[in-house]
A and B are shown apart, each in its own frame.
Chain A
Amino acid sequence: MSVLEISNIRKNFGKTEVLKGISFTLEKGEVLSIIGSSGSGKTTLLRCLNFLEFAEKGTISVNGSVIFDGDSTKKMTDSEIRSNRLHFGLVFQSFNLFPQYSVLKNVMLAPTLLKRGTPEEIEANAKALIDRVGLSDKLDSYPCELSGGQQQRVAIARALALNPDILCFDEPTSALDPALTGEVLKVIKGLKSSDRTMIVVTHEMEFAKIVSDKVIFMANGVIEEQGTPEEVFDNPKSDITRAFLSTSFEKF
């Protein structure tokens, strides 16, 4: 059984069709990279999965049960939306840490509000996650005291704290300068394990090549090509993919 199965997702913004029928499946423990030029619909797809946007058509199933059906006439209640969101975690391009809370509090806030265990358990788990992203010495720092790379690592720990089925990254390094990109990618790579499923929207082709089990190349709201990194990067079938990859790997 696939951990995630999405089928024929369609989304419009006004008259613009942003997603024109996206379907794919993801197995537990797989890392999926979604690549493609700006405006191809990658971020919108992630936002539909996290219910920050709502697709007009299509279905989303997690662990075999349908959690979203665009054809359903019944409107999801706030609490249904909330519980559906918890299948997914999302790390934003712009981090979006809560500025008034320390690193530890940022990671602890949601589990505390959602009553995911005793305060002691929540704190111990948060500290373990912060240690995992290499920021144990910054527990009491505030976001404004951290570099962009450090902030993004805290954001990753914060998303992990709710133990989502699928962790999504929306261009996690696009707001970082090259020197800080590496530390974040290293952390994401280190999260890869047999029971953690991840979707990474990225412009870092080398990273996508190394870390993914599966790559989707999107163009103009459709999946132009999908397959293993070897298939997509080394033997692309579509002309559009080839053109995109050649400009992406072109250095100057």
Chain B
Amino acid sequence: MFAEVLKALSDGFLVTLQIFAFTLLGALPLGLIIAFGSMSRFLPLKGLVKTIVWIIRGTPLMLQLIAIYYGPGLITGNNIWSYSNGRLAAVLVAFIINYACYFSEIYRGGIESISKGQVEAGQVLGMTKSQIFFKIILLQVIKRIIPPMSNEIITLVKDTSLSRVIAVYEIIWAGQSFIKGAGLIWPLFFTAVFYLAFNGLLTILFGLAEKKLSYFKS
């Protein structure tokens, strides 16, 4: 029985990991674009971006999942997510948008915390805006945002469980299915072992990244 549970939970956790990895892949760069939008001097764009961030951060991710999965069908009358893996795709869209908005605020805080003098030093040395950002500012920002980003990323690992609301078979769903199917409650609680192990690994990785950037102070 234990082997059977382990197999089912591992299958579920694989889906959890997929949601996690693809969300990061999409939300890390998208967050930077949103951050630039929210710092734009073009006020209509800034206003639009700030409004989107307000809506996304101001409503539950679970509601956003439901809206993205059922919304198009309710409006147009046909379900755009009906293909195989469509549910997973809907989850990824919701997660990427949601996490990109949170990341964007962390990026913005990080970028704005870098002293103006760093930008000016690059300017008087004749550098272009993108050279100043990528060669001077970026690494200093990364160093500063590792702690808040690690918080957010660890939260993401656990938030993946919300995707069961649109019937994506991730690890919580896998654990829960043993309650109805076999009358077993412990597989559900056993999922915690997977989360803890993976978040432990992430904690170690973030610690290493912080250590790697500890050679300079900014």
Chain A residue, CB-CB nearest to B120: A52
Q: Are A82 and B217 in contact (CB under 8 A)?
A: no
Q: Are B117 and A94 in touch, CB under 8 angstroms?
A: yes
Cβ 8 A contact of B125, one of A51, A99, A109: A109
12 sampled A-B residue pairs with Cβ under 8 A:
A52-B123, A78-B128, A78-B129, A86-B126, A92-B117, A92-B120, A92-B121, A98-B136, A100-B216, A109-B135, A110-B127, A159-B125
A52 touches B124 (CB 8 A): yes
State the CA gap A97–B121 with chains docked (Å).
8
In the complex, B215 has a CB within 8 A of chain A: yes
Contact B127 A142 (CB under 8 A): no
Answer whether residue B139 sits at the interface, using C-beta atoms and an 8 A cutoff. Answer: yes
In chain B, positions 66-123 with a C-beta closer than 8 Å to chain A are: 115, 117-118, 120-123
Instruction: Verify B216–A82 contact, CB threshold 8 A.
Output: no
A110 to chain B, nearest CB (A): 4
Residues on the A chain within 8 Å of B115, using CB? 94, 96
Total count of chain A residues near the partner, CB < 8 A: 28
- Chain B interface residue count, CB cutoff 8 Å, equals 23
Alpha-carbon separation in the docked complex, A109 to B115 (Å): 19
4 extra interchain contacts, Cβ-Cβ under 8 A, other than A78-B129, A99-B216?
A82-B127, A92-B121, A114-B127, A144-B216
Pick from B118, B121, B127, B140: contact of A113, CB under 8 Å: B127
Instruction: Determine which residue in A88, A97, A109, A143 has the highest number of CB atoms from chain B within 10 A of its CB, and name it.
Output: A109
Most buried by A among B120, B125, B140, B143: B125
Cross-interface CB contact of B126 among A52, A83, A94, cutoff 8 Å: A83
* B120-A158 in contact (CB<8A): no
Flag whether A50 is at the interface (Cβ < 8 A). yes
